[in-house]
Chains A and B, each alone.
Chain A
Amino acid sequence: SYVLTQPPSVSVAPGKTARITCGGNNIGSKSVHWYQQKPGQAPVLVIFYDSDRPSGIPERFSGSNSGNTATLTISRVEAGDEADYSCQVWDSSSDHPVFGGGTKLTVL
């Protein structure tokens, strides 16, 4: 089955840029979605189809996907961005969704 690998944690100072990676075999050929999850809350879609933003998500959130790595980039990080971020793709061979293990973003 398809596996997505994320770093357990990323730390960044306020105002700087955070980059969260999601690794998978030839993930560049798949569509990647990103979810933000704050403590005690349900996940919220922040990036879909690699780089699209749902309405209401700040332009500071962007995504890219190429080769074996997809990346969620958060510019001008704010304290309110502190959360867990998970990537997700569909495994086309089985028609199953697959989630990465999640990355905890800490704002220093």
Chain B
Amino acid sequence: QVQLQESGPGLVKPSETLSLTCTVSGGSISSYHWTWIRQPPGKGLEWIGYIYFTGNTNYNPSLKSRVTISLDTSKNQFSLNLSSVTAADTAVYYCARACSADSCPFDYWGQGTLVTVSS
């Protein structure tokens, strides 16, 4: 059974960089889109970006200038860096998996981690 688990600080100061890691267990990190999705309190899901196992990335245009997603296949982990955060970046951050074929769903999700941006 594939499991995803987010980890990282729950509190980040404004203007600093939010850094999260997702650890994948129970399956290979190959051949999937490894994705970050967030959900501000009381709002809907927002796609942040994904990384393919080859290292190719694709980011939400509204966040692209501040986002970096990287992959560590040796540790079966992928990571999110979001720079210059503001209160608007306060959200539950999820990591998720989608297959690389056409129009795949997100079939596995992490439990989510709340990140609050505050001084």
Contacts and interface: CB of A to CB of B under 8 A. Distances in A.
Given A42-B111, A95-B58, A97-B98, A49 B47 contact: no
Contacts, number: 56
B103 interface: yes
Interface residues of B, number: 21
Given A42-B94, A95-B58, A96-B58, A101 B106 contact: no
B72 to A, nearest CB: 22
B45 to A, nearest CB: 4
Given A42-B110, A96-B58, A102 B103 contact: no
A48 B44 contact: no
Interface of B: 35, 37, 44-47, 58, 60-61, 94, 98, 102-107, 109-112
